[in-house]
A and B are shown apart, each in its own frame.
Chain A
Amino acid sequence: MTVDSLDPDDVDAADILGSAIERREDPALLTGNAEYTDDIQIDGMLHMAVVRSQYGHAKLEGVDTSEAEAMDGVHGVYTYEDLVSDETPGGGSFALPTAWLLDSLKQVEHPVLASDKVRHQGDGIAVVVAEDRYTARDAAGAVDVEYERLDAVVHPSEAFSDDAEQLHDDAEDNVAFDWEIGDAEKTADAFADASHTASIDLDNQLLIANAMEPRAAVADYNPGTDELDVAMTTQNPHVHRLLMAGVLGHPEHKLSVRAPDVGGGFGSKIHHYADEALVAWCSMMHEGPIKWTATRSETYLTDAPGRGHETKAEIAMDDDGNIVGLRVDTMANLGAYLSTFAPAVPTYLYGTLLSGQYDIPAIYGHVKGAFTNVPPVDAYRGAGRPEASFLVERLVHLGAKEMGMDPVEFRKQNFVPDDAFPYETQVAVVYDSGEYTKPMDEALEMLDYENFREEQERARDEGKYLGVGFSCYIEACGLAPSELAGQLGAQAGLWESSLVRMHPSGTVTAYCGTSGHGQGHGTTYAQIVANELGVPYDSVEVVEGDTDEIPQGMGTYGSRSAAVGGSSLVKSAQKVVEKGKEIAAHQLEADPEDIEFENGEYSVAGAPDRSMSMADVAGAAYLAHDIPDEMEPGLEATSFYDPDNFVFPFGTHAAIVEVDPDSGEIEIERYVAVDDVGNQINPKIVEGQIHGGIAQGVGQALYEGAEYDDNATLMTGSMQDYAVPKAEHVPEMETGATVTPSPHNPLGVKGVGEAGTIAAPQAIVNAVADALEPFGVDHIDMPMDAESVWSAVQANATADGGAEPGSDDADHGGER
């Protein structure tokens, strides 16, 4: 099923919400007229380059900048000493803050340039400002750094080992935090009483976001006004303004942050990195414009990777195949320092999703965070939820196998029943709404599941190994109720703000504090606002991503834009409608109570001929010749929408694969995705988000992984070695949808940005495990490259005396 797009001109105003219209952002992007950060050219602009560490872990013994300073075209070379000097601009901390705290969290110092020690290869040691990018890069290469190399750690288990080098003086044994959720005792009891258990040991690998546009910033300081303007690749300009103000010691109201067109983010452009602050500081230092654009190899060294879990987990069932308990012990990699939202990702965004779609009476999760010599780890598309969903769905696969049950039957039996919503899990969240069997049934129908099982049998007899894997995922998104976020450790509210402004002629500008970077907010937000105000879609302009234009905002991440930003726009638009109602009542000489508003027309109840259009009302509001007493002229409204709860999208993804045990190669024969993301504002955009999400999930399952050697040197430091999926690597995706509106927001939307990425990996791993069941292969860590599949088949064939290909050994494994 593919959604066909519509020309917005062919859509009736009343139908605009929910129509798969073409995207209004595309013409600029398709003609080269878009403006990405690196496209910005300002007269007299200088370029910055950063000197980064040669080692994953080392003490700095000395930095000699003299050769670089002497080079033609070089305007300055600066180290940490220069930043903190009284002689130079700014008086901030010059250290990057973390915006999410936990009780046990060790808040270690994270200077924007290393002062005495480098803790990962991306750590900056000095910055160079020069005439052009080539010269800046040359000069960076001429900075001579003397190091005393230290041993490095890459994986949490190494970081916690007794002989590991400690990264930070104030984080003993490299423990960043120790956190738990659920009920340990109750879960222990459940396991003690259970008749069956299954367990798994797994690594959820580190991934690099690889937004196609590398990070970049252009800062322009005006010494006359003391205003500092920063254009940068950001998903959340207001958050960056707040944090950067503190880092630099430049007042927030004199700092402006703007996101021009942004070439993808996937989480990597949420966090406050050192580089953007350094560009801003250099601009103050040189009192003029400075540009920095990361090379791709720099993004590999500095963009926050995501995932990085080492986990042992188990599931317990009673005799009837009911899940009675789930227990998880995870070591999470946080990298060298605490990135902006890092502490939230392996805790509240992970532990709270451990119930999956299932009614599990006892759950306990324990997570220990580790400092290691990889770049600071933070949110990457899905952030915590893919790790949870992967784990739960792998355990359910193994649980079904342990019970000798069909994986579909086992899942259905354990789903949270439809009548149990709102459903409170054992891990601190309340699911808003759901009907989990619906997408499952639709996926089964699309797959023709019964027939597939027969085909699988036949194929095995012929020596062909087919497998099907399911992923019944749940995610929590739409971050988040501010009070709850505060209780959980967030150092910010997670509301969203918007402004809807009617112009006197009846057209509209809608401002929102989110900041799209490819999601098509310009289109969907206009659909929302046009629908609320009853004005033509083309009369609505959307503005995002500029702290000077939009009062406040929290940004775009965690699939929150539609649910929180969209809802804020609804709220602002409704305020406009309400004010308009009073104006209309006044002009139509009726009681406001009697004014009805529909399709952009105010009319008097029972007297439809006494009416005024929205545009007329706007005109009247600005003329202000005849509006109610005490009323201020103008027609606009701002709102700060704070959601009541997260929203919980869900769905079933299923993959059919063929595995060649000889070559270890996996072919995805079919990929079916049925998602319930609540109401859909633009189904074509929803489909695109699902597609892109799945592609990244396929990437995690089969291709991607950041690999470091023992010294924490990145081995996959370019696209030559880190496999970003290509067109031929991504299967054709068959998508379907069910719609269970969220009751928590006025749009009934749930969020779609991360669903595919959360859902896909386990569908594929489960399918491969299903295909390789005759070989006794239960689990292969991701990415399941050909060699790891081949080795798993070999290892099992050897270890088990060679489970004969073709023999169906259903009781095999399950307990390892």
Chain B
Amino acid sequence: MEFSGTFELEDTTVDEVWLALSDPVLVQESLPGCTFLLHVEGEEADFDELAEQASELDRELTNDPEVIAQRAFKEGERYAALMQVSVGPVNPTFETVVTIDERDRPRMDASGEGSSGDSSFEMSSSMALSETDDGDGVAVEWETQADVFGKVAGMGQRVINPVANRIVKRFFSSVQEELHDLGVGEVSTSDGDESDGRSLVDRVLGRSKSTDSE
């Protein structure tokens, strides 16, 4: 099943939003029901181990591009998330692994799968940022193709669309809030050249050159 939408973030820039969405910590904080979101080091994602790791980790939200750069999503890498999706009395917790298939500002593609007991899902998702027409904000166009299996599949048909819409809405509202609270991107985005010819921010932003802007 496919669903999509556009969410507009006010009073921000594509660079700022891109930076925010590059930060697993900010994404984790903004995703409703997400207990942790961590880079998967080895082949297998062991969720018990990851949970332990998450409890020991001391990561904080920041607006410091240096810090974000350290932990930013990387193309081709896998990330594990423990997500509880709450729909009334139905509250499955999904062990989810997502691969960043493509990360090329202003576009990111990811695919993943998750399971919870006898239920599971597979999804592929993409997101693109653009300046809004009034130039005052950023439009996030997103689309997701998801397949749901097992017990929740029958229920899925009915609830997935509105529930997904609600999760996305809450996610971006939180992102907007965090952007505002942290002042992400307020650090200049054009300082200091690096050895590979890309600025630090360029690297975080996944840009190949520091010249273009939308």
Contact = CB atoms under 8 A, between A and B. Distances in A.
Nearest to A718: B154
Contacts of A714: 154
A54 B150 contact: yes
Given A54-B149, A709-B1, A141 B154 contact: no
Contact of B118 (A141, A710, A721): A141
> Dominant SS at the A interface?
loop
A715 interface: yes
B154 A715 contact: yes
B211 to A, nearest CB: 42
A709 B149 CA distance: 10
Interface string A518-556: 000000000000000000000000000000000000000
A55 to B, nearest CB: 6
A721 B158 CA distance: 10
Interface residues of B, number: 13
Contacts of B153: 709, 713, 715
A55 B154 contact: no
User: Which of B117, B147, B153 is the most central at the interface, judged by chain A CB atoms within 10 Å of its CB?
Assistant: B153
Interface in A701-732: 709-711, 713-718, 721
Interface of A: 54-55, 141, 149, 709-711, 713-718, 721
A713 B119 CA distance: 12
Contacts of A54: 118-120, 149-150
B157 interface: yes
B59 to A, nearest CB: 32
Nearest to B147: A711
A55 B153 CA distance: 10
A55 B119 CA distance: 10
Contact of A710 (B120, B147, B154, B157): B147
Contacts of B120: 54
Nearest to B119: A54
Interface string B141-163: 00000011110011001000000
Nearest to A714: B154
Contacts of A711: 147, 149
A42 to B, nearest CB: 31
A714 B156 CA distance: 11
Contacts of A710: 147
A717 B154 CA distance: 7
Contacts of B147: 709-711
Which interface residue of B118, B147, B149, B157 has the most chain A CB atoms within 10 A?
Answer: B149
B117 A141 contact: yes
A29 B149 CA distance: 40
Contacts of B148: 713
A54 B119 CA distance: 7
A713 B149 contact: yes
Contacts of A713: 148-150, 153-154
- The 8 residue pairs across chains A and B that have the minimum distance between CB atoms: A54-B150, A713-B153, A717-B154, A54-B149, A715-B157, A711-B147, A55-B149, A54-B118
A21 B153 CA distance: 49
Interface string B84-128: 000000000000000000000000000000000111101000000
B178 to A, nearest CB: 36
Nearest to B158: A721
Contacts of B118: 54, 141
A420 B160 CA distance: 60
Given A713-B149, A713-B154, A714-B154, 6 more contacts: A141-B118, A709-B147, A709-B157, A710-B147, A715-B157, A721-B154
Nearest to B117: A141
Nearest to A52: B118
Q: Give the most central of A711, A713, A721: most B CB within 10 Å.
A: A713
Nearest to A721: B154
Nearest to B120: A54
B104 to A, nearest CB: 29
A474 B119 CA distance: 46
Nearest to A707: B157
Q: Which of B1, B122, B147, B154 has the most chain A CB within a 10 Å cutoff? A: B154
A285 to B, nearest CB: 26
A29 B49 CA distance: 59
26 contacts: A54-B118, A54-B119, A54-B149, A54-B150, A55-B149, A141-B117, A141-B118, A149-B149, A709-B1, A709-B147, A709-B153, A709-B157, A711-B147, A711-B149, A713-B148, A713-B149, A713-B153, A713-B154, A714-B154, A715-B153, A715-B154, A715-B157, A716-B154, A717-B154, A718-B154, A721-B154
Contacts of B157: 709, 715
A125 to B, nearest CB: 12
A54 to B, nearest CB: 4
A709 B120 CA distance: 15
Contacts of A721: 154
A717 B148 CA distance: 14
Interface string B40-51: 000000000000
Contacts of A55: 149
A149 B119 CA distance: 13
A711 B149 CA distance: 8
A121 to B, nearest CB: 9
